[in-house]
Amino acid sequence: MSQTIFLVDMESFYASIEVARSPQYKGKPLVVSGDPNRRSGVILAASKEAKHYGVKNAERLWEAQQKCAHLIIVPPHMQDYIHASMEITSILKAFTDLVEPYSIDEQFMDVTHSQRLFGTPIEMAKQVQQQIWNKFRVRARVGIGENKILAKLACDNFAKKKEDGIFELRADQLKDTLWPLPVENLFGVGHRMKEHLYNRGIRTIGQLAQTKVDFFKKRWGIHGQVLWMSAQGVDYSPVKLSTHEGQKAIGHGMTLPYDYASLEDIHVVILELCEEVCHRARRNHVQGFTVTLGVSGASYEMHTGFHRQYKMPYETNSAPTLYKYACQLLDQFWDGLPVRRINVSLSSLSSDEAVQLDLFDYQQQQEDRELGKTMDLIRERYGKTAVLRASSLLPAGQARERAAKIGGHYK
């Protein structure tokens, strides 16, 4: 029996949940968006009716309102979406124990050995769709393939455009189905990669697939080889229960409520991000050698900012240490222009059971480690804002407001 993989994708997930809980919105152009008076006013999800007016996910709210003056704007309810996603996972696990959440609204299923119980892949896909619809009134699209990349490509390029929302993409059909599509339809080809490929005369997925793999390996290394393999429909990765094990970095970022122009204000946010990153590192019992700082400028028209990293003298999961070296990157690379977004990450991870001590900073290292653990215990028991750095009480601080949110949006 050949392997059979599903990618189950929820149509306009956040918007569909909002319509299901408020039936008066059914059939109307609706978007789920952050606060329109703040920079978080970005479209997170748009209903089918809103997309009919050209509204797209990730565009700014004011741009969407220009396309559709009577657009219904609903704030996100992240806790509800997370709960629904977990419930959908439970539905899928009734068909197979091999379910891998790919995102909040996409999940892989290996149904290879479930067909004797639930019928053919098409029959099983219809059952999955019906059960999700019955419980949440959310339409699911199902891409079917012999591996994960074929299931993903089937869903993104074909199932989403079909009335029944189901499409099976077979490796022996790629020449007639997938290869004629524009190269940007291939998973993993973003805007910049599209430009690189177009400049080399590669306009379709078929042209990419028929180019020698050595060309891609020489130009883009492993990423280039993976793109070539994807165009060929080749993917050896199994559906795993532990998608996020062995992560290579721990990061946290935020879009600021207004443009930060002073060094002192930016320092406040960097310290808060370092606190969050190190808390997550300690929770996962890891520490890291490399700090990365990303800063995006405030202008949408002229892209400014930087993304730099620094290898610290020793591994750490202590916020003061991470903050120290993140600030050094800021001092070295910041151009002084107003800042819109800041991101901090810790990489080159290893277990924190063994600690490399600094000969000249041993006492401070020990104190920072114990302080971090104590703060973790207090926050876990009494909440994220039970203990804060004094700087978070300044006007630039965002820790208290972020504590009331999930993924940057209110619960």
Q: Domain of 220?
A: 176-231
Q: Which residues pair with 46 in a beta bridge?
A: 31
Identify whether 244 is part of a domain. Answer: no
| Pair (181, 292) in one structural domain | no
Give the pLDDT score at 180: 97
Taking the whole predicted model, whether its pTM rises above 0.75 is answered as no
| Pair (135, 282) in one structural domain | no
Q: For 202, phi and psi rounded to 5 degrees?
A: -100, 105
Last residue of a domain, one of 199, 231, 263: 231
Cα–Cα distance between 149 and 233 in angstroms, integer?
7
Residue type, 35: D
Identify whether 43 is part of a domain. Answer: yes
Cα–Cα distance between 291 and 328 in angstroms, integer?
11
106 catalytic? Reply is yes
Identify whether 389 is part of a domain. Answer: yes
| Pair (284, 195) in one structural domain | no
Identify whether 243 is part of a domain. Answer: no
Binding residue per annotation — 164?
no
Which residue, chain included where needed, has tokens 């970022």? 253
| Pair (212, 328) in one structural domain | no
Binding residue per annotation — 9?
yes
Identify whether 169 is part of a domain. Answer: no
| Pair (219, 258) in one structural domain | no
CATH number reported for the structural domain that contains residue 343 in this entry: 3.30.1490.100
Last residue of a domain, one of 203, 231, 259: 231
> Residue 321: which H helix or E strand, with range?
helix 319-333
Q: Which residues pair with 249 in a beta bridge?
A: 347
Quick check: 269 and 396 in contact, CB under 8 A?
A: yes
Both tokens of 318, joined, read 């202590």
Identify whether 137 is part of a domain. Answer: yes
CA–CA–CA angle 128, 130, 135 (5° rounding): 100
| Pair (290, 334) in one structural domain | yes
| Pair (202, 305) in one structural domain | no
Identify whether 239 is part of a domain. Answer: no
| Pair (294, 352) in one structural domain | yes
| Pair (257, 405) in one structural domain | yes
| Pair (215, 259) in one structural domain | no
Cβ-based burial of 144 (10 A; exposed 0-12, middle 13-18, buried ≥19): buried
| Pair (259, 405) in one structural domain | yes
Last residue of a domain, one of 231, 263, 278: 231
Identify whether 162 is part of a domain. Answer: no
Distances (CA, A) of 235 to 42, 185, 230, 370, 404: 34, 17, 7, 45, 40
| Pair (346, 205) in one structural domain | no
CATH number reported for the structural domain that contains residue 210 in this entry: 1.10.150.20
**What residues contact 135, with CB distance under 8 A and at least 6 apart?**
87, 91
Q: Which residue among the candidates 18, 49, 100, 106 is catalytic per the annotation?
A: 106
pLDDT 10s digit of each residue in the chain, 411 long? 689 999 999 999 999 999 999 999 999 999 998 766 655 578 889 999 999 999 998 888 888 999 999 999 998 888 899 999 999 999 999 999 999 999 999 999 999 999 999 999 999 999 999 999 999 999 999 999 999 999 999 999 999 999 999 999 999 999 999 999 999 999 999 888 999 999 999 999 999 999 999 999 999 999 999 999 999 999 999 998 765 455 678 998 888 888 899 999 999 999 999 999 999 999 888 999 999 999 998 776 667 889 999 999 888 999 999 999 999 999 999 999 999 899 999 998 888 776 665 555 656 666 777 777 888 888 888 888 888 888 888 888 888 777 766 655 555
CA–CA–CA angle 68, 69, 70 (5° rounding): 95
Number of domains observed in the structure of the chain:
3
Cβ-based burial of 105 (10 A; exposed 0-12, middle 13-18, buried ≥19): buried
CATH number reported for the structural domain that contains residue 98 in this entry: 3.40.1170.60
